[in-house]
Structure 1
Amino acid sequence: MAVRAPRGARSLTFRVLLLASLWSMVALIVIALAISTLYRRSAESSFQDLLRAQLYNVINSVSTDDQFQLTGSPQLGDLRFSQPQTGWYWIVEPIGENFPSEPMSSTSLGYGSIPIPDTETIPFDTRYERYYTTEDTFGNTVEVVETEVVLDQDGRTARFRVAGNRNVLEDDISAFSRNLYLALAGFGVGSLVLNAVAILIGLRPLDHVRKALEQIRAGQAERLGGAFPREIQPLVSEVNALIDSNRRIIERARMQVGNLAHSLKTPIAVLLNEARVLTAPHGELVRNQAEAMQSQVQSYLNRARIAAQRESVLARTEAASVLQRLARVMRRLNADIEFTLLIEPEDLMIAMEQQDIEEVVGNLLENAARYAHSTVAIRAMPAPEEPGNDDTQRRRWIVLEVEDDGPGLEPEQIQEALKRGKRLDESKPGTGLGLSIVREITSEYQGTLALSRGKSGGLLAQLMLPAVAKDVA
């Protein structure tokens, strides 16, 4: 069983839009992540540079006095170092027994403290600095830059630390990322809209080709006409060449069939004339066979004519006028049978020549009147549209039904009745070609004929005939 592709997957426009949208989304996501990562690195580097600058300000502001005590009053120009529990601190601690001084710290630290990792876990770098992230006693995540400096000639050394609140850095990065994502999202939506418009405009010539092909199929044009882009023009030229080639082949075959049929008409007419003067039963046999031959020749002539009309003109016939006229004729010929007609809606247009509709429906009505007990119903209505088909591929149809209340046919009898020249009831007049002719003419218009048992028990003949589209009508 063949798996039907989803409707969108069969659309070139959908595929191009999907690929362009996916590419844009992937590109924007990669760009957003790259810019966000680069900004984080830059922000962290700037944050560390700020802490290092503040560290050297503290170093330049602190010294020792005559009592070997730390002295100095660092002014870093940032109120956060003087406000309590802000996460911005500076600390100076003496190192060694020969430096019995009390440590110094910013007022923002108060009685709090910062856990200090040992130098084995986080060693000093080549500039004798080290950076680490920790958490103070107030719950702030802080980043610390630390170094050791010799303060006097006696080798007294102090450890200097400056800490900055890392939450400030993370908030800044989050705000930047949020604004970046919003800006890229807006840019992405605008790009998708512009891409969609550009793609739809770029693929519009293909839609013109499709409409031109529909006009050819509807009989409104014989070739693909108009100006097309350079990329599509070779396709248009090849399609026109194919149409011309097919037209020549069809015309040649139709001419040969027509010539053959016309050449047989005269001999058949001679046989019919001679059969009239022959005595029975030989004369009757020759006459029946000659009439069958004449019907078959006329059938092929009709098929050639239908093909010619379909190639050149858009056939259209108003269903109501033809069916009403046929119903009136049948009522006069069969006064004992009631013919009912139902057409919904009344403006149905059939894409067939009038004489072909008359021959098709006339044969069905004659067959129904031949076997009906009292009633024959004629109904015409639009066929239900098939779900799931593209509008460009869906063809509209009309259902035309002829139902009688006669004995009807069994399924195996229906197959026999559709055979050319087959008559199930030899007591009734006819050649047995009626249903076969109906099916052949209908098939020439890509329609169908179906026989079944109707609700009244009789034969129900259902025709599926092409309808004229509203925009064409």
Structure 2
Amino acid sequence: MGPRSLTARVLMLATLWSAFALVVIAIVISQLYRQSAERAFTDLLRAQLYNVINSITIGDDNKLSGSPQLGDLRFSQPETGWYWIIEPLGTFAATPLSSSSLGTSNISVPSILTVPFNNRYERFYPATDAFKNHVLVAETEVVLDGEGRAARFRVSGNLSVVEDDIQAFSRNLYIALAVFGFGSLAVNGLAILYGLQPLDAARRSLDKVRRGDAERLEGEFPREIMPLANDINALIESNRRIVERARMQVGNLAHSLKTPIAVLLNEARMLDKVQSDLVRSQAEAMQAQVQSYLNRARIAAQRESLLARTEVEPVLERLVRVIRRLNPDKEFHLTVFPAIVALAMEQQDVEETIGNLLENASRFCKTGVWITATPASAPSGDETEAARRYWIEMTIEDDGPGLEPDQIREALKRGRRLDESKPGAGLGLSIVREITTEYQGQLELGRGTHGGLRAKLLLPGLAKDAA
């Protein structure tokens, strides 16, 4: 799962790739330099080996003679790991020669089977001298005269010189790459932020549409984003036309049915009581059903609209103010959390939903009603796109007698009234549930902390940063 932010995602990928690339580059360059340094060290030993060979001859006394001058003081300083050694071979019984740096010690010679000569009749092998120095030895065997007398020539160099050189180079390389890497990350970050600014501008413009401050995406966008902005504007305009057409059709249908139902209700008064009650009840039921399905059609047309937006606190304060005037002997407590800004619902639906619940709570409470609006998580079991929305939980609770579970199931049925002594048509809770369901929310009834009924609504909202 990657981050939700596109900017964070691009920055993270760029950072990871840059870090990986720099690590690989550092390793590759270090290895290449190591190979080059070791090859240069081998070439240096080879050159010094042949300098020693060119400096040695067999004297008139049949002894090895000569004094190699290699131009390196380390061959004359003891325990340095830099030595040259000349050993007679076969029947040639001359005294061996060695550099003063070796003293009286020697370096063991591996067998030819272990380290064979190459095609130039040379061999190189690591060794450890008597002073625990790790050295690399260059060796060859040379015939010194026409009588076939030969000697083994060896020159060694301290490997710590190579390792110190490689470590110094690697340290400087890592510092340089680290500075370059941090600089590149900073430049890449600025470039990414600058390149993604048009997307952020499009988001802010879309937020203005959600807040109702604009009717379309406005601003200058790059040509890569302009088609998307044009399509969104076309979608907003199409959605607006669909909503307006739906509202007009709902209004026309309501107007066309209003008169026939009113006529039926008026004519029912002229019938005898039994028939009048029957016709009136059926006409009222027809009127309620028509209104319910008209509301459903209107909500379905408006539900996914970007323009559906209702400020939470002003609407709740207005509803509480009205219901408080109707019930001056009751107390009403309203709490709206600061993060709550707006509901993604039509104001008419919010007022009808909360108003029905407030009316029921004020009707059955003893002393007061408590209204609370808080942020909430998605409806349980929701794995659709709605699960990623912002949700608001509203609770309306009273201190009345409350309802038992079987009474709650009965109260949610259309037209059912549990208390015939109280006024009402038995449609309030049913209407609340229908509106809530159409907005993909939830209605839950249960026993509250104050002893009465608690109605908990889960409704789609707009977060503070989106509103």
Query: TM-score over 0.5 for the alignment?
Result: yes
- Give the match for residue 414 of structure 1: 408
Tell me if structure 1 keeps the 8 A contact 2:265–2:283.
Answer: yes
State the 1:244 CA deviation.
Answer: 3.7
What amino acid is aligned across from residue 325 of structure 1 in structure 2?
Answer: R
1:158 counterpart SS class = strand
Q: Displacement, 1:93?
A: 1.9
Q: Which amino acid aligns with 1:405?
A: G
Counterparts of residues 263-342 of structure 1 (less than 5 Å) = 263-298=256-291, 314-316=309-311, 318-319=314-315, 321-332=317-328, 338-342=330-334
Alignment of 1:428-467 (within 5 A): 428-442=422-436, 448-465=442-459
Contact 2:134 2:158 in 1 (8 A): yes
Q: Is residue 125 from structure 1 mapped to residue 118 from structure 2 by the alignment?
A: yes
In structure 1, what is the Cα distance between the partners aligned to 2:103 and 2:219? 86
Q: Among residues 378, 392, 395, which one is paired with 2:390 in the alignment?
A: 395
Instruction: Find 1:37's aligned residue among 20, 25, 31.
Output: 31
- Secondary structure in 2 aligned to 1:127? coil
Q: Tell me, what secondary structure is at the counterpart of 2:269?
A: helix
Distance 1:313 1:91, change over 3 A: closer
Which 10-residue stretch deviates more, 451-460 or 35-44? 451-460
Q: Secondary structure at the match of 1:91?
A: strand
The answer to whether the 8 Å contact 1:356/1:441 transfers is yes
Shift of 1:297: 4.4
Of 362-371 and 133-142, the range deviating more from structure 2: 362-371
| Matching of residue 53 in structure 1 with residue 47 in structure 2 | yes
Q: How many Å apart are 1:385 and its aligned residue?
A: 6.0
1:380 equivalent among 357, 372, 397: 372
User: CA contact under 8 A between 2:250 and 2:298: conserved in structure 1?
Assistant: no
SS in 2 for 1:450: strand
Partner residue, 2:89: 95
- With normalisation by structure 1, the TM-score equals 0.83
Q: What is the distance in 1 between the residues matched to 2:112 and 2:458? A: 93
- 1:23 — aligned with what? 17
Shift of 1:242: 3.5
Match of 1:252 among 234, 245, 254: 245
Q: 2:209 corresponds to which residue? A: 216
Give the structure 2 partner of residue 62 of structure 1: 56
Provide structure 2 residue ranges, at least 5 long, that are not aligned to the other structure.
none
| 1:165 and 2:158 matched | yes
Counterpart CA distance in 2 for 1:456 and 1:81 is 98
How many equivalent pairs are there?
458
Question: 2:286 is paired with a residue of what secondary structure?
Answer: helix
Q: Give SS of 1:131's match.
A: strand
* 1:77 aligned onto 2:71: yes
Q: Partner amino acid for 1:81?
A: F
Paired residue type of 2:310: A
1:3 aligned partner: none
CA apart distance, 1:467:
5.8
What value does the CA root-mean-square deviation take over the aligned residues?
A: 3.5
1:413: how far off?
2.8
1:405 is aligned to 2:397: no
How far is 1:139 from its partner?
1.5
Q: Report the 3-state secondary structure (helix = DSSP H, G, I; strand = E; otherwise coil) of the residue aligned with 1:277.
A: coil
Maintained 8 Å contact 2:378/2:388: no
SS in structure 1 of the partner of residue 127 of structure 2: strand
Cα deviations across residues 330-352 of structure 1 (Å, max 9, x unaligned)? 324xx5xx334243569976546
- 1:231 maps to which of 207, 212, 224: 224
Given the two structures, how large is their TM-score scaled by the length of structure 2? Answer: 0.84
